[in-house]
Structure 1
Amino acid sequence: MRDQEQPESANCSAEGLVRQVKMVTRTAGIELAGENALERYDAGAYAQVLSTSRSESGNGLVAFTYLRMNKKLFEGDNWQHLVEFVKSMSEGGQNIRLAECDSCKTNLYVGFIKDKNVKRTKKGAPV
């Protein structure tokens, strides 16, 4: 989360905590891994993780565990945001926008999920 997303009454800094942890891991010479703590599927949340994953001083994320995979992940724009996030993470944290169509047949584009959501009914013979 970004600090601006915290209620003022909480008197805390999520971004400050991440900076402290990154500094300590760099000082200790250990690798930093992360995971999402909240159930969020918006582009802003993924951008925050991407920001944390990058580092000019060599203490970015070496691994990330994605929690809260559920049905909601596949609704609306949530799937596209996740796919763009995963692709960005695999490209070293570069923000990559996926096309609506996929000529490489990777099944990652949004239309793949939309096509799969079409209900198919089987016709049966009455018994």
Structure 2
Amino acid sequence: MATDQLSLVFQALADPIRRAILTRLTNGDATVAELAEPFNVTQPAISRHLKVLETAGLISRSRRATARLSHLEAEPLRDVTTWLARYQRFWDESHERLDELLAALQNNRQDDPDRAEAVSMKGNEDG
């Protein structure tokens, strides 16, 4: 996925109405009127939201008789998840290092309770 496409997806996901539309589309295709129903916005406003989602590749639109249906295209969401997974690994590794540090500090406290108490008291004096 090109960075530009990724930016379009994040831009589309930035709006709560567009996120709600995507959630609704997980239940199946829907018309503009069906998508507008839960919101206090006009159908033209929903159509503008749909255009943003379509430009980002998150939905496709088709005609069935006189109805224009929107359909969820989830692949760009998988690409976003893959991009975000790198940062999940970063946070997991950071938390692991923090856990190791806390365990080492606790072990030091158990090994030398007098020193741990002195460090604790010094911390209280500084605050």
Q: Give TM class, smaller chain.
A: under 0.3
Based on CA coordinates, which of the two structures has the bigger radius of gyration?
2
Please state which structure has a larger fraction of its residues in helix.
Answer: 2
TM-score normalized by structure 2?
0.23
Task: Using CA pairs under 8 Å that are at least 6 residues apart, name the structure with larger relative contact order, 1 or 2.
Answer: 2
